[in-house]
C-alpha cells in the first residue's frame, strides 16, 4: 500500500523563482532566505519520495475568470511551466502521476469533496517555486508531481476546516492505493502578505509564528480559524495559508517530527515560512 | 437578507469576492489576454485601440491607461490579473504593490526590508479614520 511519509510547507513568492533563474541567490538581499532551504535540499535528496502531491494555487494563469474550480486535481502525464507575462520559467516540465491522481480523485470525490479533474494545464510559480526551493536546479525534477490547485483568488475560498478534512480524505485515498509508493504532501503559499491597496506590505511575524506552532501541535484547532482572521491579521493574500491545512490533514493523527523549521521576512512583499514534518 | 461581509471592515483592502468579480470580468479577462506575447505587442503599440476591443466600461479603460491599480481594483480588478499589465510594462510585483500605497518605490522596499507594514493600527477601518 502507498503511504504518506512527510509533509513540506513553504511560501511560493514569484520573486524567489526569478532569483533562482537569474543566479542571484547569493546576493545580500536573498542570502539569508535561501540559507534556510539548504537543509531542505539535502533532506529532499535523502528522502526523495515516489510522488509529491503538491497543493498550490493558480494565480490567474491556467484558470482565468471563465472557470473557477475550488479544488482541481491534475491528472495529466505532463504539465508545462506557464508564461505568466514575463515568459515561462526556465525549469523542467513537471511529470505527473496519472494513475495515482485518478485513484485519489475517485476516492476523494466518493468522500463528498467535489474535485475538478484537469487533464491539460500549465503550472505557474505557485507550483514551480516550491520545487526550486526544495530541489535546486536539476535537469529533471526528482520525482513525479500531482498538482492540486485550490482557489484562493476569488472569495470565498474554502474554509480551513474544509481544507483540513480534505487532507484527511487525501490520506485515506493514498493509503488505499495498491502499490508501495512513498508520497509526500506539500502545502504552499503564504505566509502573511498583502499585495493590494493602501494596506499592501502588511506582515505579521507574531501571528505567522503562532500559526506554525499550531500547525505542528494543534492543527484541528487551527482549522477552526475563520477567513476574516487571516485577512485582518495576515493580509488579504495571507488567506493562502488555508492550503497548508490540506497537507497537514493528510498527515497521521500522531504528533509529527519537526525535521526543519524556518521563517524569514521579507521575500519581495511576503513573509516566508517553511516546515518539514515527518510522520512517525 | 444581505450576506455578512466582515472583510468590508479592513482598511485599505478590497476583497475580490463574487460581486467584485462580476464587476471586473471584462477588465480581468483583458489582463489575461496579455499573457500572449503577440497581444502584449499589440497592446503596447496602441493601448487605446486594444482596450476598445474589450467590452469594458470607459472608466475601466481610463484606469488601465492611468496605470492606477487602486482605481482598477475599485472597478473589479484583481491584483493577480492586473499583474499582467505590470508584467507587460516590465514591473515587478513589489513595484506594483508599492504603487498602491502612496509610498515611493524606495520607501516601500525599505519598509519591507525592515519587516513590513505592522498590523497594529491597520486592522479596522475606524483605525484609519482617526488619523
Confidence bin at A238 (pLDDT 50/70/90) = very high
Nearest CB among B29, B35, B117 relative to A85 is that of B35
Average pLDDT score over residue span A273-278: 98
For the cut 90, the answer to whether the pLDDT of residue B1 exceeds it is no
Percentage of residues of chain B with pLDDT beyond 90 = 92
* Partners of A71 in beta bridges: A150
pLDDT of A175 > 90? The answer is: yes
Q: Does B48 touch chain A (CB under 8 A)?
A: no
Q: How many C-beta atoms lie closer than 10 Å to residue A266's C-beta? A: 23
* Annotated active-site residue in A97, A125, A264, A274: A125
The answer, for B71 touching chain A at a CB cutoff of 8 Å, is no
As beta bridge partners, residue B92 has: none
The secondary structure of residue B27, as a DSSP letter, is: H
Q: Residue A99: phi, psi to the nearest 5? A: -70, -50
Dihedrals phi, psi of A39, to nearest 5 degrees = -55, -40
**Average pLDDT rounded to a whole number, residues A59-85:** 94
Chain B's closest residue to A234, CA to CA, is B119
Contacts of B8 in chain A (CB under 8 A): none
What residues in B contact A231, CB-CB < 8 Å?
A: 7, 10, 13, 15
What pLDDT does residue A87 have? 82
A227 is catalytic: no
Q: What is the pLDDT of residues B84-94, one digit of tens each?
A: 999 999 998 89
What distance in Å separates the CA atoms of residue A99 and residue B49, rounded to the nearest whole number?
48
Q: Is the pLDDT of residue A47 over 90?
A: yes
Provide the pLDDT confidence category of residue A274 given band limits of 50, 70 and 90: very high
Provide the chain A residues 168-227 that lie in CB contact (below 8 A) with chain B.
192, 194-205, 207, 227
Of B15, B97, B115, the CB nearest to A155: B15
In chain B, residues with a C-beta closer than 8 Å to the C-beta of A228 are 6-7
A12, A97, A193, A264: the catalytic one is: A193
Task: Compute the average pLDDT of residues A235-245.
Answer: 98
pLDDT of residue B131: 62
Nearest to A201 among B11, B69, B112 (CB): B112
Cell matching residue A252: 497521521
Tell me which residues of chain A, numbers 73 to 102, contact chain B at a CB-CB cutoff of 8 Å.
Answer: 82-87
Q: DSSP string covering B76-112, please? A: T--HHHHHHHHHHTT--HHHHHHTTTTS-HHHHHHHH
Q: Over chain A, what is the mean pLDDT?
A: 97
A 1-30 residues with CB < 8 A to B: 14-15, 18, 29
Contact B94 A236 (CB under 8 A): no
Interface test with B, best of A199, A207, A233, A265 (most B CBs within 10 A): A199
Report which of B37, B45, B81, B39 is spatially closest to residue B63, judged by C-alpha positions: B81
Q: A264 in helix, strand or coil?
A: strand
Phi, psi (rounded to 5 degrees) for B18: -60, -35
Chain-chain contact of B97 with A195 (C-beta, under 8 angstroms): yes
Is A32 at the interface with chain B, CB within 8 A? no
CB contact (8 A) between residue A65 and residue B101: no
**Distance from B6 to chain A by nearest Cα, in Å?**
7
Q: Among A84, A195, A203, whose Cβ lies nearest the Cβ of B117?
A: A203
Give pTM, 2 decimals: 0.97
* Whether the complex's predicted ipTM surpasses the cut of 0.90: yes
Q: Is A193 a catalytic residue?
A: yes
The pLDDT tens digits for A108-167 are 999 999 999 999 999 999 999 999 999 999 999 999 999 999 999 999 999 999 999 999
Residues A52, A49: Cα–Cα separation, whole Å:
7
Q: Does residue B130 register a pLDDT over 80?
A: no
- The answer to whether the CB atoms of B93 and A195 lie below 8 A apart is yes
Spatial distance between the Cα atoms of A136 and A58, rounded to a whole number of angstroms: 22
- Cα dist. B93→A30, A175, A179, A277 in Å? 16, 40, 43, 31
* Structure-derived torsion over alpha carbons of residues A212, A217, A220, A221, reported in degrees to the nearest 10: -70
Note whether A154 contacts B84, CB cutoff 8 Å: no
Amino acid at each position: 500500500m502507498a503511504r504518506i511519509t512527510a509533509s513540506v510547507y513553504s511560501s511560493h513568492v514569484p520573486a524567489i523563482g526569478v532569483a533562482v533563474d537569474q543566479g542571484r541567490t547569493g546576493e545580500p538581499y536573498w542570502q539569508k532566505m535561501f540559507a534556510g532551504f539548504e537543509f531542505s535540499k539535502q533532506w529532499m535528496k535523502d528522502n526523495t519520495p515516489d510522488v509529491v502531491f503538491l497543493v498550490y494555487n493558480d494565480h490567474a494563469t491556467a484558470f482565468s475568470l471563465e472557470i473557477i474550480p475550488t479544488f482541481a486535481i491534475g491528472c495529466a502525464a505532463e504539465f508545462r511551466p506557464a508564461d505568466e507575462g514575463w515568459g515561462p520559467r526556465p525549469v523542467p516540465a513537471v511529470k505527473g502521476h496519472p494513475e495515482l491522481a485518478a485513484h485519489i480523485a475517485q476516492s476523494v470525490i466518493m468522500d463528498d469533496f467535489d474535485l475538478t479533474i484537469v487533464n491539460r494545464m500549465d503550472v505557474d510559480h505557485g507550483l514551480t517555486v516550491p520545487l526550486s526551493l526544495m530541489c535546486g536546479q536539476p535537469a529533471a525534477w526528482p520525482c513525479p508531481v500531482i498538482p492540486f490547485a485550490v482557489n484562493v483568488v476569488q472569495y470565498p475560498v474554502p474554509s480551513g476546516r474544509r481544507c483540513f478534512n480534505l487532507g484527511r480524505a487525501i490520506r485515506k485515498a493514498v493509503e488505499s492505493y495498491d502499490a508501495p509508493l512513498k508520497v509526500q504532501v506539500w502545502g504552499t503559499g503564504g505566509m502573511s502578505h498583502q499585495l493590494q491597496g493602501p494596506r499592501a506590505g502588511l506582515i505579521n511575524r507574531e501571528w505567522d509564528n503562532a500559526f506554525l506552532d499550531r500547525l505542528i501541535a494543534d492543527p484541528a484547532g487551527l482549522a477552526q480559524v475563520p477567513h476574516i482572521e487571516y485577512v485582518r491579521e495576515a493580509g488579504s493574500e495571507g488567506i493562502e495559508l488555508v492550503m497548508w491545512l490540506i497537507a497537514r490533514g493528510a498527515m497521521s493523527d500522531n504528533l509529527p517530527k519537526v525535521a526543519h523549521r524556518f521563517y524569514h521576512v521579507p521575500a519581495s512583499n511576503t513573509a516566508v515560512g517553511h516546515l518539514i514534518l515527518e510522520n512517525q | 437578507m444581505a450576506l455578512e461581509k466582515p472583510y468590508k471592515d479592513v482598511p485599505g483592502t478590497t476583497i475580490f469576492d463574487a460581486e467584485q468579480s462580476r464587476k471586473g470580468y471584462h477588465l480581468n479577462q483583458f489582463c489575461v489576454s496579455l499573457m500572449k506575447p503577440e497581444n502584449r505587442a499589440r497592446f503596447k503599440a496602441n493601448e487605446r485601440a486594444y482596450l476598445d476591443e474589450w467590452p469594458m466600461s470607459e472608466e475601466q479603460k481610463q484606469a488601465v491607461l492611468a496605470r492606477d491599480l487602486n482605481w482598477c481594483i475599485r472597478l473589479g480588478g484583481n491584483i493577480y490579473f492586473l499583474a499582467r499589465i505590470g508584467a507587460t510594462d516590465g514591473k515587478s510585483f513589489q513595484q506594483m504593490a508599492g504603487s498602491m500605497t502612496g509610498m515611493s518605490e524606495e520607501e516601500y522596499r525599505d519598509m519591507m526590508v525592515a519587516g513590513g507594514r505592522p498590523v497594529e493600527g491597520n486592522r479596522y477601518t475606524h483605525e484609519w479614520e482617526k488619523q
